[in-house]
Amino acid sequence: MNETFVRLLCPECGKSWERKPKELPTHTEGFACDSCEAERRTAEFARTDRDLDVLKQFQ
């Protein structure tokens, strides 16, 4: 069975990576970039609308 990942993209430094939805805060909470440590709402790191949907669905 495939694991579901949320694809993330940092709006500050452009880093892209993936995390399991369970490892992320809810989409309205703050989340810090792994690379530049910019802090934004987790929703702003979702790469596409689909990634945001996955994030919401699995929390």
Q: Answer whether 11's CB lies under 8 Å from 44's CB.
A: yes
What is the footprint of Zn ion within residues 1-59 (CB under 5 A)?
10, 12-13, 15, 33, 35-36, 38
Q: How far is the CB of 1 from Zn ion (least distance, A)?
A: 31
Number of residues that bind Zn ion (CB under 5 A): 8
Q: How far is the CB of 41 from Zn ion (least distance, A)?
A: 14
- Neighbour tally for 58: CB within 10 Å: 13
Q: Report long-range pairs for 31-37 (Cβ below 8 Å, ≥24 apart).
A: 35/10, 36/10, 36/12
What does the binding site for Zn ion look like in residue numbers (CB under 5 A)?
A: 10, 12-13, 15, 33, 35-36, 38
